[in-house]
Amino acid sequence: MMTKRLQRVLKLWLDQIYDLNVAVINGDTQAVATRAEDMTRKKLIAEFEAKSGFNILIMSPVAAGVGLTVIGANHVVHLERHWNPAKEAQASDRVYRIGQTKPVFIHLPAVIHPQFDSFDVHLDRLLRGKLMLKEAVVTPEAVSESEMMQSMGL
């Protein structure tokens, strides 16, 4: 997973090249305000969404994957893939919320070599396999009302 150190370096680089003050939301960012710290995840997102024009917000998929809405964004870039495709989908879903008016784009950059499969290619294949397995096992096919009643002995 993207380390906090890499997040800090990425923030400094993006701040410099785009003349921004990029916010970072990770496990160190408060979920709720305290007396000592009022810069919460929701406050950082509100500030991000209040700015007009181009802006960047760096978020850890695990820290920002639950309970947040980021409809001010419409591009999600997963710099590192999560081994669990559900966590990756949950992080992407932060921008697919009621109130989103822009088309949403999910970007999955990968290193690809013309002669052999890279780690990114192997990981993508693994994640796609996990999703196919989930669809086959967890996601039920359409069942008619009569089939449902029959299975319940009615």
Local confidence pLDDT in tens for the 154 residues of the chain: 568 898 999 999 999 999 999 999 988 888 888 777 778 999 999 999 999 888 999 998 888 778 889 999 999 998 888 889 998 899 899 999 999 999 999 999 999 999 999 999 999 999 999 998 888 778 767 777 787 777 777 7
For residues 74 and 47, state if they share a domain: yes
Instruction: Give the domain range for residue 71.
Output: 4-109
User: Does residue 53 share a domain with residue 31?
Assistant: yes
Please tell me whether residues 20 and 68 are part of one structural domain.
yes
CATH number, position 100: 3.40.50.300
Q: How many of the other CB atoms lie within 10 Å of CB of 79?
A: 14
Q: How many CB atoms lie within 10 A of CB 113?
A: 9
Which two three-digit tokens encode residue 32? 């709720």
| Same-domain status, 104 and 122 | no
Whether 99 and 127 share a structural domain: no
Q: How many domains does the chain have?
A: 2
Structure tokens, 97: 């919320």
Q: Which pLDDT belongs to residue 101?
A: 92
pTM: 0.76
Check whether residue 81 and residue 127 sit in a common domain. no
41 with 105, same domain?
Answer: yes
Cα distance between residue 4 and residue 88, in whole Å: 18
